Copies of this chain bind each other. A is one copy, B any other.
Amino acid sequence: MKEKVLIFGHKNPDTDSICSSIVHEILDKKNGWDTKAVRLGNINKETQYVLNYLGIEAPELIEKVEEGQEVLLVDHNEFNQSVEGIEKAKILGVTDHHRIANFETSDPLYYTAKPYGCTATILFEEFKTLGHKIEKTEAVLMASAIISDTLLLKSPTTTEHDKKALEELGQLAGINIEEYGLEMLKAGTDLDDFSAEELVNLDAKNLEKDGTKFVIAQVNTVSIEDVLKRQSELEKAMKDEITKKDLSLFVLAITDILNSNSEIIALGNKAEVVEKSFNTKLENNRAFLEGVVSRKKQLLPNIDKNI
């Protein structure tokens, strides 16, 4: 029997990666295609809040794909953020809202990217274009993804498309977006039972430029101070990653989702790149970045330019 087409988001899946995979499968079924959402890593606490709210199961975990496996990517395209074996998979389509890099196919494919705050907003527009009814389940999933990626529309990545989609999805889901969203985001900031190693890998993006490898990781919190109490063990875990992956830079952004600021910890032989990138000085390996909450729009482009 031929394997089903698999849909997945990036490694260290966030709420958009998980929810958009499930929604993509729902949309495919409406179009008569029997695809299957899977995931490349553990469900974080924020996403678990969403799944619990809906009473649905997480997609199945996969470790790698076989040569020739047909796949659909959501919420990422860079191979170093994707599944093991992606180079030899058959990529039929991509739905994403990131830059395109470290990505290559041997055949033509479907690729839908828009510079929106969230993959789910693109899927929302697909539902509208195709004239499919949006049921409560997919409305909650898409709304949750948008709330997560845009930090309740406060991130600079937020576009008018995301605002419009979230407003309509809130109505379709029958939820109060502010209340539901704050509960969901807070659920994601409960970091107590994570080890330092888990924390620095929770939402870590592996990046590469001209052969220079670096990582930008991010944790959301309602108290930066609380997280910084663990600075020394976090630094140890970051150093371990630097050695293991031969990194030139590891940036951990600790993002205050209530006040929209970040404190960063930067280690590695290119740590000074962040000083240049944000016109700041590292003290005790740290810097406070006022108004910085977005990896994609603020952290990555500045660091990528200077590394």
A105 beta carbon closer than 8 Å to chain B? yes
Minimum CB–CB distance from A193 to chain B (whole Å) comes to 34
A36 vs chain B, min Cβ distance (A) = 21
Q: Of residues 153 to 190 in A, which have CB atoms within 8 Å of B's CB atoms? A: none
A32→B108 CA distance, assembly (Å)? 30
Instruction: Tell me if A113 and B115 are in contact (CB < 8 A).
Output: no
**Number of this chain's copies in the complex:** 2
Taken together as a complex, chains A and B put the C-alpha atoms of A5 and B129 apart, in Å, by: 26
What residues of chain B lie closer than 8 Å to A112, measured between beta carbons? 111-112
B residues less than 8 Å from A105 (CB atoms): 99-101
The reply to whether B106 and A301 form a contact with Cβ atoms under 8 Å apart is: yes
A211 to chain B: closest CB distance in Å?
A: 14
Q: Digitize A94-130: 1 where CB-to-B-CB distance is under 8 Å, 0 elsewhere.
A: 0001111111111111111111100000000000010
Q: Which of B97, B104, B107, B109 contacts A108 (CB 8 A)?
A: B97
Bound complex: CA A105 to CA B129 (Å): 27
Nearest CB in chain B to that of A92: its residue: B115
> Across the two chains, which residue of chain B brings its CB closest to A116?
B108
Contact A109 B104 (CB under 8 A): no
Set of chain B residues within 8 Å of A110, measured between Cβ atoms? 113-115
A167–B2 alpha-carbon span in the complex (Å): 35
Which 6 A/B pairs are nearest by Cβ-Cβ distance? A108-B115, A111-B113, A101-B104, A99-B105, A111-B111, A100-B105
